[in-house]
Amino acid sequence: MGKNKSNPLQLKWLRSPVKILGIYVSYDENGNKQMNFNRTLRKLQTNLDMWKARDLKLFGRVLIIKSLGLSQLVYSASNLNVPQEIIPIINTKLFNFLWKNRRDKIKRAGLYQDREKGGIRITDVEIMIKALRLAWISRLLTPEMINWKAIPHYFLSKTGGLNFLLRCNYAT
């Protein structure tokens, strides 16, 4: 929590979390993580527990993971920075559901593969989060100037702009 007592623009600045389009925003990073991800993780666990009672086959459990499990996390993950400690928790919950709280029977790296390669096409949470972050680049590169682009363009212009950063040779 900041100790700054100034009142810029004579606006009422809130100290408590504010919910904007389904995402909680506040000065407190731990509070943000608690409100945005820990709540979602509890909801995820509740959904998975409801489906655990059913006698689903392996591919049915994968379908539940993708449709009801990960879909809850996509919105938050595409708009916020996902804390690194959350990813193993998500994986644990998903794989506990997949294997009915037993030890993994197949290496996880194999499960992410296509069926032709012996996998079951379960989603790799870490790669999904990286893909959601990268999706913003294509949105920023569209030619029309939309209001939400003003802030990223302002900060990126300090380093030469997004086009410059994408064309840099980072290897040298």
5 has a pLDDT exceeding 90 = no
Q: What is the pLDDT of residue 161?
A: 82
Whether residue 172 has pLDDT greater than 60: no
The per-residue pLDDT for range 75-91, each reduced to its tens digit, is 889 888 899 999 999 99
**Residue 131 has what pLDDT?**
93
Those residues whose C-beta lies under 8 Å from the C-beta of residue 28, and which sit 6 or more positions away, are 1, 17
Residue 1 above 60 pLDDT? no
- CB–CB of 59/120 below 8 Å? yes
Q: For residue 123, what are the CA distances in angstroms to 38, 42, 65, 130, 145? A: 20, 20, 9, 12, 34
> pTM here?
0.77
At 43-79, the pLDDT tens digits run 999 999 999 989 899 999 999 999 988 988 898 898 8
pLDDT tens, residue by residue, 117-167: 988 999 999 999 999 988 888 888 888 888 888 888 888 888 888 888 787
Q: Looking at residue 157, what is its pLDDT?
A: 87
pLDDT value of residue 90: 94
pLDDT higher for 13 or 55? 55
Q: Which residue has the tokens 């913003």?
A: 136
